[in-house]
Structures are given as C-alpha cells and as structure tokens.
Structure 1
Amino acid sequence: MSEAIYCFDTATVRFAIYPEGLAGERVIAEISEDPLRDLFGAGGGGDTLVEAYKANAAIIDACALEHHHSAPHHPVLLETRDFEAMEHMAGA
C-alpha cells in the first residue's frame, strides 16, 4: 500500500517513509517532478508521477531514508542531483 500523492502546488509527489520500520515514526518526504520525469519515466500528469514513484519506490525510499538519517530535523525533498550516484552505478 502506497501513501503517495501528487501535490500540484509544490509540483512534487509526497510519500511516507518509516526510518524505524512500520511500527515507528512516519516521516513525510517529497520528490520533485524532474527526477520522476527524467530518471523514472513519468510522462504525463500527476497520476503518472505517482505511478513512477510507486514503480521505483524501493530506490526513492532508500534515497529519502539516507537523507533523513543524515539530517533528521530537516525536510526531505529529493531532486535529480540526489540520484546522481545511482546514475553512475547504472552506467558502470
């Protein structure tokens, strides 16, 4: 079950991560449209952005968790640059 929604006002997909597992704290994270379009194949409106998130949730959630653990008191907003290491690994 995904808790992802498209937020038109911020042009992001908002989703939940659970740093301590499902029984622990819920943290709301966001990913901007650009990586969803440029890296994860979204091609249309908000529904396709949410679908791109769902299809790639394992990668996106792992990146969001990494950001949360490195700065736990800051909002998590993922941009294309946050996935650069992933791109280099895929090209290797």
Structure 2
Amino acid sequence: MEFDAIYCFDRASVLFPIYPDGPSGRRVIAEISEDALRNLFGAAGGGDSLVQACKEHFDVIEQMAVHLHRRDPHRPLLLATGDFSLPVEFSNVSAA
C-alpha cells in the first residue's frame, strides 16, 4: 500500500490512515504531532520535512497508532512524544 499523509498546519500534526484490521478492513485516521516528529524522528524543516519523517519511520508510527487504537478504539488517535515511551509488544500488533 502506498504511503498517504498530509501536514495540517492548523493542527500542528501530520494526518495519516491506518487499517487496524488489515488492508481490506476499515480505515481509521490518525495523527502524529509535530513535536513527536521533530523530537523523535528527526524532522527539521516545514511541512514537507514532517511528512517525510512520518514516511521514513512509518513502521514504528503505524504500529503505535494501531496499538493505541486497539487499546481504546473510541479515543482520538493523536500520537504525542510520550506515547512512544510506552512499553509495547509489537510482534502481534499488525493485522495479517
């Protein structure tokens, strides 16, 4: 599946879809804060840099988004820096 994300200046975040039930399942929109992309994933410039950092580290970002969504499917999915310090077992996070 092709990477798809957009930078939202007014939300100070990058929005991206995840598919918790696999590629043919439902789509959930998640977002990651600018701060997380800058502090953890090396984004250093404007919107294009933030989207690029999200793309380059999408495996980790997506796994955390799916993990948080499964933990509380009714919670809005805004990933922040602190979310990545949670102890998570990723081996069973992705749907087949």
Please confirm whether the aligned pair reaches a TM-score higher than 0.5, indicating the same fold: yes
User: Any unmatched runs of 5+ in structure 1?
Assistant: 87-92
Identity %: 56
Residue 69 of structure 1 corresponds to 70
Which consecutive segments of 4 or more residues in structure 1 shift more than 2 A? none
How many residues were matched structurally? 86
Question: RMSD across aligned C-alpha pairs, in angstroms?
Answer: 1.0
SS of the equivalent of 2:20 reads coil
Return the letter of the residue paired with 2:70: H
Residue 40 of structure 1 is matched in structure 2 by 41
- Using structure 1 for the length normalisation, give the TM-score: 0.90
C-alpha distance in 2 between matches for 1:27 and 1:85: 21
TM-score, scaled relative to structure 2: 0.86
CA distance in 1, matches of 2:86, 2:20: 21
**CA separation in 2, counterparts of 1:84 and 1:34?**
14
Distance 1:4 1:20 in 2: 19
Gaps of 5+ in 2: 88-96
Q: Secondary structure at the match of 2:10?
A: coil
